[in-house]
Amino acid sequence: MSEIFPKLILDLPEAEIPVDGLKAYIAQGEHFQILYMEFEKDVIIEEHSHESQWGVILEGQIDLTIDDKEFVFRKGDRYFIPKGVKHSAKIYKGYADITYFNQKDRYKSK
């Protein structure tokens, strides 16, 4: 897709996430997951909640609604979503990030 991630990330297992236009690689810990994600098209993520999530934006833009508050994050920004807080997103083509989930089984490998 893009050249944002080095080979050591691209060699990680690909995450199984049913979002068209998303390519994600997963690093699995005992109690957490780290995803390296990049989007090749605009994507809408419907409102949902789960364990805590922290991310840093590497490229592009994401419009996040967290607990009914709207935020715009771009390259270099960081965000945090506390456990159980409802959130949704509009993610723009070219967006890439590193996201930490405080949940060991949020996603599976392909």
Structure tokens that stand for 92 in this block: 């723009």
Contact 77, 49 (CB under 8 A): no
- Domain ranges, ordered by start, for the chain: 7-97
> Could you give the CA distance from residue 4 to residue 82 in angstroms, rounded to a whole number?
27
CA distance 36 to 20: 16
- CATH topology for the 7-97 domain: Jelly Rolls (2.60.120)
For the chain, percent of residues with pLDDT exceeding 70? 98
Cα 64 to its chain centre, rounded Å, is 11
The pTM assigned to this predicted structure is 0.93
Instruction: Note the pLDDT tens digit of each residue in 79-95.
Output: 999 999 999 999 999 99
What is the rounded CA–CA span in Å between residue 26 and residue 33? 7
CB count, 10 Å around CB of 103? 15
